[in-house]
Amino acid sequence: MNLFTLNIALAIAWAALTGSFTLSGLAVGFGIGSGALYLAKPLFPGSDRYFLRVWRWIKLITLFLYELVVSSIQVVWDVLTPTQLSKPGIIAMPLDAKGEMEVLLVTNLISLTPGTLSLDVNEASDTLYIHAMFADDPDAIRKQLKEGMERWVIEAME
């Protein structure tokens, strides 16, 4: 049994013991189960990879939410103020993400971020075409996306 399955079982057991089969009850059970599994880490050889992966996914979600808030504020500011700062454009970004899931996650996270939209991925899945609302410096946008979302996704999927 892998640790994730065991953690889900512990979350369900927690919800059963508390009599609260709600999302928050399962989330608390998952957190307590993670803590218990972390304390019992010596009993599970190779469990470091699980906890590292969980940490990377938490980091990815947190950083995406930060990007979501920052870009939302930027787009709202541009829409509500009389001066228009947007200079839309289409940017080609070479991808380092190799697997289908990595490319899918990168494209979806970019599309979910206000001000950017994934348009297409070429046949070889090595170039992503993006529409950006603020494309006055395409190299800066490319660098921000490669060092940001794409790197976070690659780390989380390792």
* Per-chain mean pLDDT for the chain: 91
Sign of CA dihedral 19, 25, 31, 37: positive
Q: What percent of the chain lies above the pLDDT cut of 70?
A: 99
- What is the C-alpha to C-alpha distance for residues 3 and 153, in angstroms, rounded to an integer? 21
The pLDDT of residue 91? 94
Closest CA to 146 of 138, 158, 135, 157: 138
pTM as predicted: 0.80
Q: What is the 3-state secondary structure (H, E, C) of 24-37?
A: HHHHHHHHHHHHHH
Average pLDDT rounded to a whole number, residues 45-55: 86
The pLDDT of residue 138? 92
What are 54-100's pLDDT values in tens digits?
Answer: 899 999 999 999 999 999 999 999 999 888 888 999 999 999 988 89
The pLDDT of residue 59? 93
The pLDDT of residue 85? 82
Average pLDDT rounded to a whole number, residues 122-146: 92
- pLDDT of 1 > 70? The answer is no
